[in-house]
Amino acid sequence: MYRITATLDGTDTVIHGRLDPNAQIGSGKLTENVNTIPKFCFSIFPNNPGYSMIESMKTLVESYDRKNEETLFKGRVYSVSDIMDADGMVYKTVTCEGELAYLCDTIQQSRKFDGQPCQLSEIVPGILSTHNSKVDSARKIYPGNISGVFTGGYANGYISTFNMITDVCDLAGCEFRLRTDNGNRYLDIAPTFGEHSDTEIALSRNLRSLQKTVEAKDIVTRFYPVGAVNPSSTVGERLRLAGSEPYIENTTLKNLYGIVEASKIYDDIAPTDWSSGGAIGEAQSRLYAAGLKDYNQMIGLLTSFTVNALDLSLINGDYDDLRMYNTYRVITRLQGIDDEVRVTGRVLSLDDPQNPQLTFGVKPQTLTSMIAGR
Residues 134-169: pLDDT tens digits?
A: 999 999 999 999 999 998 788 999 999 999 999 999
For 24-81, how does the pLDDT look when each residue is reduced to its tens digit (9 = 90+)?
A: 999 999 999 999 999 999 999 999 999 999 999 999 999 998 888 899 999 999 999 9
Residue 265: per-residue pLDDT:
92
For 37-53, how does the pLDDT look when each residue is reduced to its tens digit (9 = 90+)?
A: 999 999 999 999 999 99
The CATH topology of domain 196-216+300-372 is Phage tail proteins - horseshoe like beta roll fold (2.30.300)
Cis amide prior to 362 (ω within 30 degrees): yes
Helices 120-132/161-172 angle, 10° precision: 170
**Averaged pLDDT score across all residues of the chain:** 89
Q: Is the pTM of this model over 0.85?
A: no
28, 236, 237, 273 from 231: Cα distances, Å: 62, 8, 8, 11
User: Would you list the domain boundaries of the chain?
Assistant: 2-98, 105-190, 196-216+300-372, 222-297
Domains 2-98 and 105-190 fall in the same CATH topology: no
For 186-214, how does the pLDDT look when each residue is reduced to its tens digit (9 = 90+)?
A: 999 999 999 999 888 887 788 888 887 77
Homologous superfamily of domain range 2-98 = Baseplate protein-like domain - beta roll fold (2.30.300.10)
Which CATH number does 105-190 carry?
Answer: 3.55.50
Q: Which of 319, 316, 314 is nearest to 201 (CA)?
A: 319
